[in-house]
Structure 1
């Protein structure tokens, strides 16, 4: 039988190759590297040294150096983690006998230790944070030592001869000779003579077995040794070249640049000057092997089976336990109390949102809203579905005459107005009787088709607005906002008509509303952010309104973090955008409008959240507190409204899941528990009405009676791996592994000119104070919590509040340093005492 030799390229700066793959069929082959295969999902059949094994999820096997092996897919798909490393780390006189099929309750801990090392190595390879190479090397040596101590045995002569034909033994001798003598002068002729073969025969023999010419293989080995010397010694480039068997430095430079696209000197310099993360470097690889039938797979879920073997502290908080004690950033806040400051509008708590109208008739929805409104005091609320069939608004007689029913609308609007909030009316979606086709969206089947009769739609809108005026009066309704449809640019998703059909639909609807009273406010189009970045939809819409003399009092749009799929970058995978994306989107829209007839239109961001998916587990975490704070402050003075989507998880666009923290959009979960995003709004609401100072991660405001508010936060974005589309580190109970590993932030506060005694109230919101998800995990993550457990979580999950006093003598020159952990927020409120 003939076997082929696989030449393995190590990763950039480590003597390993670590990758995730799926296998259909890998024929018999061999390589000098030791290989560890861990089955993340599914089953495989592996043949090693004339024996076959079926491995399932969580199984491990070690394939020794020079062992012939074959891998086959079974009737189930598979996902594997493969580690290949230099056999020099092991004793060449010993062989590793490690196969988890022989795992028992007595030796399970020894196998779990291997899984733990693999999990940590995969983690470091994925994160590529400060010190990753050193950690990975340490883990590699620990793994090798563990294998030697608990799984190795002396290689017998019979084992050495085991099933290896004469050619295989010959090639084995040659490769070992090269590995030991690479620094000496080695020629093809000398090896041929040593093996008693002709030059011609040996040359073809080597190329056939290895797949590359002898000289290329020798050069690869020498380059491999040179890279190790560049990283781990202070030897000169010349000395390394000679020590590794190169005839001269010029030749060494030539081969090195061909292989690594860099000179040896530049390679070494990059290692010493760039020990931090380089975004361009590959994380844990998902790649094909040149010598076998490997194929890439989506590993979002596959790595979960491995990451559970991380250290408990590492899995639960992305090793923030070790980082949180380190201060990685320092911010100076200097100001004088005599500064008058600049007035500003709190655009983040003018408009709130919810899922759809009929949910607002539920007791739990209303109870949550009343509590929200009592603490935050929103001016308006927006939701879908005021004309949905479930609101019983519109039907027709057999003759096609319209029948209007405002009973549920009145019940909902009466409640909202009594709660002190006004409707921001999203005129969507279409009553099924009026829809010209049957396309729907969401679990609750909102009809997205244009009306089959525009005049009947106009009549519906006319009667609806007229009814509201008759019930609540013009003075009240003139403070409402009427938004025509939702994301009509998403053709086939939210609008089953053409772009031009929507433009005319808007014109007809807007003119209908204004015909009742010019005091009523109408606008739209609730544009999706993909169109904002991808085409000229916004400009064309404005131009059409201008040409048709259609009223538009405000322009509404939506923004989320997911990549907006630019046409010229269609080849890219879905990614997450940087923290500046929301402000960049506002600026982009404003620049678009400046080229139209309506350059100064009031802008309303009527939906925004981290993700547009209502099952993104990040939505429940402490990250959202800093996320809300960061974007609320970053977009100051750029928008009329910044409407977070949405205030509650009593929300049914998708089927409700069992878990109480499933990643819903809401500030409050369906059990009434407030998430960190909610408390971020509460702290923002405590700010004054004039800005005295603002900078990276902080704002200082003044309020009535000379009060001061200093808000500081430590925003940490998702890391490069997660942003690129790999969500393998995000699980129901482990949700912090996917963020940048930032340390604490130090804020040095210096206030001058305070002339009174002050009451100082501090509010601290972080993973230990006010994060209900983290408290839920500490409680044991119950899926269906009891009433007692809910009350416990409710009382535990509030920001820490402390009160102190500042005497006038100290206040005159206040200087203090405050520490804020990643995702944390700290608010200081100074109230003068008389």
Structure 2
């Protein structure tokens, strides 16, 4: 019988590995860590200590250190919570005998205590609340103590020697020797001599049993010890390298860099700054084990079977106190005489909507006029200018084209009169021109390439000429023409091949430029999956360069869902960290730098939190801080940042009956403005020069010596939600799925000055202006009356307060911003 030793990497700064998984089959293996398996859903069969057990929902079993075990699924799917921790927490002379199959009514409370500890640890790992590491360590020690008190058995000498076979006994000796002597010089030869084996035999024996070569295992042990020393001691890096058995610090740095993609010094600095070394390493993960064949499952509702063991008083205390806890303080020292640095408000250049036909509706136009009056965007982008519902293209019985620009004129006339210009997305295909019948969205946009490229070219040519004749070259040359939408999503938005799109783009772009070289054309409105997944970008630009196809700008889209890198194993994490949007821009810039067109204009022509147009998060106060965070984080990196979209008058899928259903829009279909809308209003009040900027704030200056201080408290979704467990998100409860960060304090000091200020404070948070929260407080009416809608409209929006600051007064004040909250101060000089 063969076994596999599993080397377990602890997560971040805790001596544990805690994860949720589904098991298909785990072959015989062992590890030095103690393992607790809790069945959240379904059932498994586990072989441990020479016996088979079938565990069902709510069952628990403890697998001791170095116990060989195997796990198999039954005829039911399963979801497991697994905790692996260091055996150093237990008495080495005792083992744990814990299996809930032996639970009795009298012992239920003792087993429930284990479940309660696991529930608390899972919650701490997911929420990342202030002090989570300390709480988790305390819970771990309490759990270990509980196991020792109620489930430990004394190991007799006979039982200590009762191993499955001699090879395991030998391997056990070797691993324990390494664990106790890692700081000393250990060689393969010395261990072979100790076991009275030849070097060649022992080398193969070790590799066969462990799965990795001896030296690699030894290095892994030493690195594990070094990480603990970096976290828990003040010893120098050189001292730690020597203490952990590395020959010199250069070798230590080399191996550490290979494994953790950072240096020991940078690792320690990141810990000191309370920043994770690797943003992909999560405290609670849904992941694969090195010894198991795991597959993705739907974990919604799974954690509820565990969380019911949280004591109600504990759960409510955490929830109620999170918003009153101060988790961070920020100092902002303002010099009103600082010149500041000019910048471009890239978030206010381009807005978006669903499709052209919606723009002919009265409710759409009313909302747009309100948006444009308050925010004043430069351009607008939407799909479907050539959709059948716009009645642009038909053919006679002989196949001759018939063009009709009536609806296009009606829409463009309205937009230009409102002071905004088209960012024309040339999509989708008129059905009379499509070579096949594939469509997308509820309104059936045809995604096929043209059956006749020349007829498509003629349509584009006549469209451009009509626009020039109606509006003039000076006007149309300020428009942008984007060829198609996400053609990299083959079979979704484009029913042709990659090469067919490249050729389609080149023909379309050359057609536009042939009318006037002043017209700006680009694309491809690429999905972010291709940005992270393959070389689509490089191939597209290389094609344009080789064929001399015009390309004035590059457009792309970004959302939070994980893009599934090809070079990685399949991951269950579905939402990316909050740096993902900036990381995507940086990645694209690096790709462009290696092409013939390194300085292309970049336009993110779609972005939002989720790709899903029914994500209930979209209506919440979270989206206000989300918008501000990404708008400020991406400053100076691209030409436009186009939020998708400005309104819920939007019909990619059938419209639900609920009033606040999680649509993409800044406004709902009734015209109620969401926190995301007001985030743009507050951003619009910033000045045109940056005085200072830091984590969670920006200070700007404007005309006549005005100052603006924008502060926000961004809290990301927690790990359970990011990993696909949406059980905490319901129509009426939408905030339990976020990290519990607590309040943030901003301490502002303004140097002495010669004049006074009118200080206007705008506060936007769950208690001040969030329409969803106001709707809940109103009673969450499913079909609000006109009176109720007017009430919600009146209650939504930032609270505004004004105070006067005399010239002799010194501004020094601490402002508290709750999670998801935004606070803007504007200081207007008074002479």
TM-score (norm 1): 0.73
Q: Is 1:430–2:387 an aligned residue pair? A: no
Cα displacement (A) at 1:793 = 4.5
Partner of residue 231, structure 2:
270
| Separation in structure 2 between the aligned mates of residue 329 and residue 819 of structure 1, nearest angstrom | 9
Residue 305 (str. 1) matches residue 304 (str. 2): yes
- Helix, strand or coil at the partner of 1:331: strand
Q: Is the 8 A contact 2:90 2:148 kept in 1?
A: no
Q: Tell me the secondary structure at the aligned position of residue 123 of structure 1.
A: helix
Residues 108 and 356 of structure 1: CA distance in aligned 2, closer, same or farther (over 3 Å): farther
CA distance in 1, matches of 2:339, 2:749: 17
Q: Report the equivalent of 2:331.
A: 331
Matched, 1:727 2:719: no
Which residue matches 2:709?
A: 710
Alignment of 1:188-587 (within 5 A): 191=158, 206-207=163-164, 213=168, 260-261=221-222, 267=228, 270-271=231-232, 283-284=283-284, 295=294, 297-298=296-297, 300-306=299-305, 309=308, 321-322=321-322, 324-337=324-337, 339-532=338-531, 537-538=536-537, 541-542=540-541, 545=544, 550-563=549-562, 569-571=567-569, 573=571, 579-587=578-586
CA distance in 2, matches of 1:351, 1:780: 36
- 2:240 aligns with none
Relative to structure 2, which stretch is displaced further, 392-401 or 312-321?
312-321
Shift in alpha-carbon separation, 1:65–1:603, aligned structure 2, 3 A: closer
- Relative to structure 1, the CA distance from residue 259 to residue 494 in structure 2 (aligned partners, 3 Å threshold; closer, same or farther) is closer
Map 1:616-635; keep pairs closer than 5 Å.
616-635=615-634
- Would the aligned equivalents of 2:322 and 2:741 in 1 still touch at CA under 8 Å? no
> Relative to 1, partners in 2 of residues 1:394 and 1:318: Cα closer, same or farther, differing over 3 Å?
farther
The structural deviation recorded for 1:83 is 6.5
Q: C-alpha separation between the residues in 1 aligned to 2:693 and 2:33? A: 56
The residue that corresponds to 1:747 in the other structure is 746
Kept after mapping to 2: 8 A contact 1:318/1:737: no
Looking at structure 1, the residues matched to 689 and 277 of structure 2 have their Cα atoms a distance apart, in angstroms, of: 39
- 3-state SS of 1:336 partner: coil
CA-CA distance at 1:376 after TM superposition: 1.2
How far 1:580 sits from its partner (Å)?
Answer: 4.7
**CA RMSD between the two structures:** 5.5
Q: Secondary structure at the match of 1:809?
A: coil
Q: Which residue of 2 aligns with 1:831?
A: 828
In structure 2, the residue corresponding to 1:712 is in which secondary structure? strand
Distance 1:313 1:682 in 2: 40
Aligned length: 754
1:430 CA drift (Å): 0.6
1:135-150 maps to which residues of 2 (within 5 A)? 135-136=135-136, 138-139=138-139
The CA deviation string for residues 227-279 of structure 1, in whole angstroms up to 9 with x for no partner, is 9xxxxxxxxx9xxxxxxxxxxxxxxxx9x979954586874663467886766
Aligned to 1:250: none
Contact 1:625-1:825 within 8 A present in 2 as well: yes
Q: What SS does the corresponding residue of 2:374 show, helix, strand or coil? A: helix
1:819 aligns with 2:819: no
The question of whether the paired residues in 2 share the 8 Å contact of 1:79 and 1:297 is answered with no
Does structure 1 retain, via aligned residues, the 8 Å contact 2:79–2:302? Answer: no
8 Å CA contact 2:286–2:723 kept in 1: the answer is: no
Task: Give SS of 1:466's match.
Answer: helix
Give the whole-Å Cα distance in 2 for the aligned partners of 1:703 and 1:624. 26
In the TM superposition, residue 375 of structure 1 has moved relative to its aligned partner by: 1.8
Could you tell me the TM-score, scaled by structure 2's length?
0.73
Task: Give 1:405 deviation, angstroms.
Answer: 3.0
SS at match of 1:433: coil
Equivalent position SS for 1:444: coil
Q: Hey, what's the Cα distance between the residues in 1 that align with 2:648 and 2:679?
A: 17
CA gap 1:433/1:32 in 2 versus in 1, 3 angstroms: closer
| Change in 2 beyond 3 A, CA 1:61/1:481 | closer
Q: Is the 8 A contact 1:606 1:643 kept in 2?
A: yes
**Residue 712 of structure 1: how far off its partner (Å):** 2.2
In the superposition, relative to structure 1, how do residues 423 and 305 fare at CA in structure 2: closer, same or farther (>3 Å)? same
The 1:660–1:221 alpha-carbon spacing in structure 2 relative to 1, beyond 3 Å, is: farther
State the distance in 2 between where 1:100 and 1:791 align. Answer: 62
Quickly say closer, same or farther: Cα 1:610–1:82, change in 2 above 3 A. closer
For the 8 Å contact 1:9–1:17, the answer to whether it is kept is no
CA contact (8 A) 1:554 1:604 kept: yes
Residue 22 of structure 1: CA displacement?
Answer: 4.2
Matched, 1:757 2:756: yes
**Consecutive unaligned residues in structure 1, runs of 5 or more:** 156-171, 179-190, 196-201, 228-236, 238-253
Higher alpha-carbon Rg:
1
Report deviation, 1:579. 4.5
Distance change (3 Å), C-alpha of 1:416 and 1:278 = closer
> Over residues 265-299 of structure 1, what are the superposed CA-to-partner deviations in whole Å (9 max), with x where a residue is unaligned?
874663467886766677446678999x9855435
Residue 681 of structure 1 and its aligned partner are, at CA, apart by: 0.5
Distance change in 2, residues 1:45/1:787 (3 Å) = farther
